[in-house]
Structure 1
Amino acid sequence: MRNPFSKTYSEEDQKMFDFLRAAKFFERLRNKEMARFLPAMHHRKYQRDEVVFFSKDPSQALYLIKKGQINLTIDVKDNFETILEINRGEAFGENSLLENAKRTYTAIVTSEEADLIVLPHFAIQEVFESNPKIKAKMMTSLSEYYNENNQRLFRSYRESFGFFSLRQMFE
């Protein structure tokens, strides 16, 4: 039996919760927790070859792809080298969950257009400050994401026969 005092959400909100839950950083949150982010989210359209953000920019927002494709690239001697291609339902700009972070990659639209949901850093931090449980859940997801990336990096390094020195990471 449903609790008569529990909050009910519109069909549109429910669809947004389902969409968010599919993204890594929201997967642990309950509807009530995700609802805290809804007022701060806004939609933005981008066109092919438009840059969402550049490497070394301040991390001012988390992005979720509603439609389209984004390439995450790193700058290698005047060229952009794609490190990851992401599509609908995926999030990027994850280090906006951290305080005072700078972008580690450049995000470029590769589809004809892309519809993105933008969640500003300041809004994320406001939710985190007022609800440490939400912060803990999202930081756990972020830690798992970074752990998976480290595993891929080290596997790639082993398979590349040491064309670079991992020690350089810590210098």
Structure 2
Amino acid sequence: MINPFSKTFSSSDLETFQFLSQIRFFEKLKNSEMARFLSAIHYRKYVKDEVIFFRGDPSHAFYVVKSGLVNLTLDIKDDFEVIKEVRKMEAFGENSLLENTKRIYTAVVYSEQSELLVIPHFAIHEIFDNNPKITAKMMTSLAEFYNENNIRLFKSYKSSFGFFNLGEMFDTSTR
């Protein structure tokens, strides 16, 4: 039976939900939960070599790549090392899901052009404040993401024969 009071979504909304449902941090959400983000999403075009944010900047937004490529880089002395190339249907700036964080890498557009979905930090947290189920689902995705990163970090450390001091990662006195 069809509920005449249920919310119906436009084809554009449904297209956005389809896209977001393929993104790690949104994949656990129902359409009705993703709908809470619709008014917060900004579509922004960037050009090659444009900096989206620098390491150390406040984490003011979450980004999803709709088209193009974005390099996440670490500055090491006078050089930049690419730590990840982010492609269509991938997200970055994930620490904006947390309160009071700063960027841990720099994000720079690598392709000639890139279109991103930008969701401001304040809008995310407004949604979180009023929707504990959405918060729980997205925080679970974030925890899984960080766990996978830790596994890759330990694997890299092991294969590099301890080239760096892994103990520094767990030293809380250096914050």
Q: Could you tell me the TM-score, scaled by structure 2's length?
A: 0.96
Q: Does 1:95 align with 2:95?
A: yes
Identify unmatched segments of 5+ residues in structure 2: none
Report what 1:156 is aligned to. Answer: 156
Q: Compute the RMSD of aligned alpha carbons.
A: 0.8
Report what 1:23 is aligned to. Answer: 23
For 1:71, what is the secondary structure of its paired residue?
strand
Q: Does 1:144 align with 2:144?
A: yes
Q: Superposition pairs for residues 7-156 of structure 1, below 5 Å?
A: 7-156=7-156
Q: Could you tell me how far 1:19 is from its partner in structure 2?
A: 0.7
Q: Could you tell me the TM-score, scaled by structure 1's length?
A: 0.98
Q: Could you tell me how far 1:165 is from its partner in structure 2?
A: 1.3
For 1:29, what is the secondary structure of its paired residue?
coil
Q: Could you tell me how far 1:68 is from its partner in structure 2?
A: 0.4
Q: Could you tell me how far 1:6 is from its partner in structure 2?
A: 1.4
Residue identity opposite 2:170 in structure 1: F
| Number of aligned residues | 171
- Separation in 2, partners of 1:151, 1:44: 33
Identify unmatched segments of 5+ residues in structure 1: none
- Separation in 1, partners of 2:48, 2:157: 32
Q: Could you tell me how far 1:95 is from its partner in structure 2?
A: 0.3
Q: Could you tell me how far 1:78 is from its partner in structure 2?
A: 1.5
Q: Could you tell me how far 1:79 is from its partner in structure 2?
A: 1.0
- Separation in 2, partners of 1:131, 1:59: 21
- Separation in 1, partners of 2:83, 2:103: 14
For 1:82, what is the secondary structure of its paired residue?
strand
Q: Does 1:4 align with 2:14?
A: no
- Separation in 1, partners of 2:96, 2:24: 14
Question: Runs of 4+ in structure 1 displaced over 6 angstroms?
Answer: none
- Separation in 1, partners of 2:92, 2:13: 22
Q: Could you tell me how far 1:3 is from its partner in structure 2?
A: 2.5
- Separation in 2, partners of 1:68, 1:91: 12
Deviation string for 1:43-74 (max 9, x for gaps)?
Answer: 11100000100001000000011110001111
Residue identity opposite 1:35 in structure 2: A
Deviation string for 1:124-146 (max 9, x for gaps)?
Answer: 00000011110010000000000
Residue identity opposite 1:147 in structure 2: N
Q: Could you tell me how far 1:150 is from its partner in structure 2?
A: 0.4
